[in-house]
């Protein structure tokens, strides 16, 4: 008998990301053989009866895998649910996508920021792209207060001590200055919490606005704010691959937004 951690099975089946699956387990929303599951439980996907919201999850049917690009506006949270009722990225999805189980954001973009965000129901895809060791580059356009001189930009490029650990080298370009503000293009290969905002403030040039324009080879382009589109097969092929092949995307649901 082969057993795996329950949250890993749920992520593999597209129910939720591993992190969100752990939340579902803690909330008592997952049943295994009629009993509330506990965090740390291991299951045999081929034998154990696993339920979520009264629905039997196994034996799993091959799920429709979706890989979406969303233009997140400011003021929207990168989460599947907010207890305070604030708008989340899932609230922006058109009805054609809302019936697809397990959709969740890949990584985060804070509420005060806008731009490119990936969503999927493929837990393995999320885990691989979010893992720090893969260093997926992310490109931002950032307005900062003031006009940082060349020495400050070079310090940012080389790395800044943040909570006892130096940030990885970054690409930092000054695109233009307008009065008391400057527009920078920044490419990061790591994603610490609010990293750009914290580094900018530490260097003395706080962020006025932050917009992500690309995730690896996936570019936001002219996608309108709040709009969503499926990734093309070419875009999926250009992304780094997990050790096991990704599922071939099902026919994408046409974006009716």
Residues 220-246 have pLDDT tens digits of 999 999 999 999 999 988 887 665 544
- C-alpha closest to that of 1 among 34, 42, 33, 50: 42
The pLDDT > 90 percentage for the chain reads 54
Q: Mention every residue, 6+ apart, whose C-beta is less than 8 A from residue 69.
A: 116, 117, 118, 119, 218, 220, 223, 228, 229, 230, 231
- Residue 44: its pLDDT value, please? 86
What Rg do the C-alpha atoms of the chain give, in angstroms?
20
- C-alpha closest to that of 223 among 81, 136, 115: 115
Q: Per-residue confidence at 252, pLDDT binned at 50, 70, 90? A: very low
> CA 5, CA 174: separation in Å to the nearest integer?
47
- Residue 61: its pLDDT value, please? 52
110 catalytic? Reply is: yes
Q: Per-residue confidence at 201, pLDDT binned at 50, 70, 90? A: very high
Query: Which pLDDT tens digit goes with each residue over 70-121?
Result: 999 999 998 888 888 899 999 998 887 876 778 899 988 999 999 999 999 8
Contact between residue 41 and residue 6 where contact means Cβ atoms under 8 Å apart: yes
Q: Which residues pair with 214 in a beta bridge?
A: 139, 219
Which member of 110, 112, 122, 180 is catalytic? 110
**Domains in the chain and their CATH numbers?**
4-56 (3.10.290.10), 67-132+217-238 (3.30.70.580), 137-215 (3.30.70.1560)
- Residue 248: its pLDDT value, please? 41
> CA 254, CA 79: separation in Å to the nearest integer?
23
The pLDDT > 70 percentage for the chain reads 90
- Judged against a pLDDT cut of 70, whether residue 250 lies above it is answered with no
Instruction: Tell me if the bond preceding 59 is cis, omega within 30° of 0.
Output: yes
Average pLDDT value for the chain: 86
Contact between residue 44 and residue 50 where contact means Cβ atoms under 8 Å apart: no
């Amino acid at each position: 008998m082969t057993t795996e951690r329950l949250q890993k099975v749920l992520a593999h089946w597209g129910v939720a990301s591993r992190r969100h699956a752990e939340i579902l387990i803690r909330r008592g929303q997952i049943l295994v053989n009629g009993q509330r599951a506990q965090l740390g439980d291991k299951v045999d996907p081929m034998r154990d009866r696993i339920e979520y919201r009264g629905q039997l999850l196994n034996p799993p049917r091959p799920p429709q895998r979706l890989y979406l690009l969303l233009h997140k506006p400011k003021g929207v949270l990168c989460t599947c649910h907010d207890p305070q009722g604030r708008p989340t990225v899932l609230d922006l999805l058109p009805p054609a996508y809302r019936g697809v189980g397990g959709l969740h954001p890949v990584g985060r973009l804070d509420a005060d920021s806008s731009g490119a965000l990936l969503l999927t129901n493929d837990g393995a895809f999320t885990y691989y792209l979010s893992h720090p060791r893969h260093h997926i580059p992310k490109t931002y356009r950032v307005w900062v207060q003031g006009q940082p001189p060349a020495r400050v930009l070079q310090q940012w490029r080389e790395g800044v001590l943040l909570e006892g650990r130096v940030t990885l080298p970054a690409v930092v370009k000054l695109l233009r200055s307008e009065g008391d503000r400057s527009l920078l293009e920044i490419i990061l290969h790591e994603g610490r919490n609010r990293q750009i905002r914290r580094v900018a403030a530490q260097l003395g040039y706080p962020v006025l606005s932050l917009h992500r324009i690309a995730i690896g080879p996936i570019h936001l382009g002219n996608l309108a704010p709040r709009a969503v589109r499926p990734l093309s097969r070419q875009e999926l092929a250009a992304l780094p691959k997990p050790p096991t092949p990704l599922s071939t995307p099902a026919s994408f649901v046409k974006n009716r937004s």
